Amino acid sequence: MTAVTATDAPAQAPTAPKRSRRVREITGLAGWTVLGWVVGIAFFLPILWMFLTAFKPESSAETWPPKFTFSPTLAEFRLVFSGSTPVGPFIEHSAIATVGSTILVLVLALPASYALSIRPVGKWRDSLFFFISTKMLPIVAAIGPLYVIALKTHLLDSIWLLIILYAAMNLPLAIWMIRSFMLEVPTEMLEAARLDGAGRFREIGEVIMPVVSPGLVSTALICVIFAWNELFLALNLTVTNAATMPMFLISSVPQEGLYIAHLSAAATVASVPVILVGWIAQRSLVRGLSMGAIK
């Protein structure tokens, strides 16, 4: 067999190589495309399953293999919004904690990143490392002290506690992100502003902000996503007064009985804001920073 192909090959050689290379290119491309789709679908399938299950009646939710034909119902959604534990307060807590912490993060991160990029303070490298080092400690190790502090300051099960902790959680990342955006502001433009007589606040407000604002938006959106999805701190430090959306998902799992469809409906409700925000963040990130100031 090998001997045959070996003798055949030279005879075909003069006409073959050009076409075979082209064929190889096309099949290679197709191969990558197929692989891309397979991986993409593999990642998306659980979400699709969750979404579909949310519209199933509880009885037909837990079948194997999963059924893709069924008569959709909104019953489980109705239960999520007006069952024995309605989702309303959870959404409210999550929204307050998310928006509040994100605003706090931006208010703190903006001057911090300015002082670490455009007019770097002494030892700025150490400061930058300190910020990121706070993310290295496993949060589990800190939960004990945090609980005690919250208890002593009467902040247990309080939305303020979540705002503060979520801000602390997202601050390092926000500082690193905004700093990198600020480094993109051309030095010449800042010098031009100095010569034009812009003070520190004008410089930030009128020169730096317009350039970094797309970056600020994407930073804010990432903070929103992280705060919205946070479970560990909420689970350990809140009960009812400040319980957030992920807490609702946990509470959707009953002690007994079928719950898959109900959980799927709740998870879908919880995912909608994040998917929306993620979609917006993607667009604003793509819009990028370079706005044509510098050639």
Partner 1 sequence: MAGVRYVGASRVYAKGAKPAVDVLDLDIKDGEFMVLVGPSGSGKTTALRMLAGLEPLDGGRIEIGGRDISDVQPKDRDIAMVFQNYALYPSKTVAENMGFALKMQHVPKEERTRRVHEAARILDLDEALLDRKPKALSGGQRQRVAMGRAIVREPKVFLMDEPLSNLDAKLRVQTRSQIAELQRRLGVTTVYVTHDQVEAMTMGHRVAVLSGGKLQQCASPRELYDNPVNQFVAGFIGSPAMNLLTAPLTEGGARLAGAVVPLASSVRVAADRDKLTEIVLGIRPEQMHLTEVGTSDTVPAAGGPARSGASPASADPGSAVLLGDVVLVEELGADALLHVRLADDGGSVVARAEGRKPPAPGQRVAFRVESADVLGFNPANGARLAG
Binding site for partner 1 (CB under 8 A): 186, 188-189, 191-198, 202, 206-207, 210-211, 291-295
Q: Whole-number minimum distance, CB 112 to partner 1, in Å?
A: 23
Classify burial at 190, counting beta carbons within 10 Å of its beta carbon; exposed 0-12, middle 13-18, buried 19 or more: middle
**Location of structure tokens 């051309």:** 186
Q: Whole-number minimum distance, CB 103 to partner 1, in Å?
A: 23
- Provide the residue type at 241 as one letter: N
Among 133, 204, 147, 141, which residue's Cα sits nearest to residue 175?
133
Contact between 182 and 114 (Cβ < 8 Å)? yes
Tally Cβ neighbours within 10 Å of residue 148.
11
Q: Whole-number minimum distance, CB 189 to partner 1, in Å?
A: 5
For partner 1, the closer of residues 149 and 190 by Cβ is 190
B/e letters for 46-81, b = 16+ CB within 10 Å, e = fewer, are eeeebebbbbbebeebeeeeeeeeeeeeeebbebbe
Q: Whole-number minimum distance, CB 178 to partner 1, in Å?
A: 17
Contact between 263 and 252 (Cβ < 8 Å)? yes
For partner 1, the closer of residues 186 and 254 by Cβ is 186
For partner 1, the closer of residues 60 and 213 by Cβ is 213
Q: Whole-number minimum distance, CB 196 to partner 1, in Å?
A: 4
- Provide the residue type at 285 as one letter: L
Q: Whole-number minimum distance, CB 208 to partner 1, in Å?
A: 10
Contact between 267 and 204 (Cβ < 8 Å)? no
For partner 1, the closer of residues 138 and 292 by Cβ is 292
For partner 1, the closer of residues 62 and 188 by Cβ is 188
For partner 1, the closer of residues 42 and 195 by Cβ is 195
Measured CA to CA, the distance from residue 267 to residue 182 in angstroms comes to 37
For partner 1, the closer of residues 29 and 293 by Cβ is 293
Q: What is the DSSP letter of 142?
A: H
Q: Whole-number minimum distance, CB 198 to partner 1, in Å?
A: 6
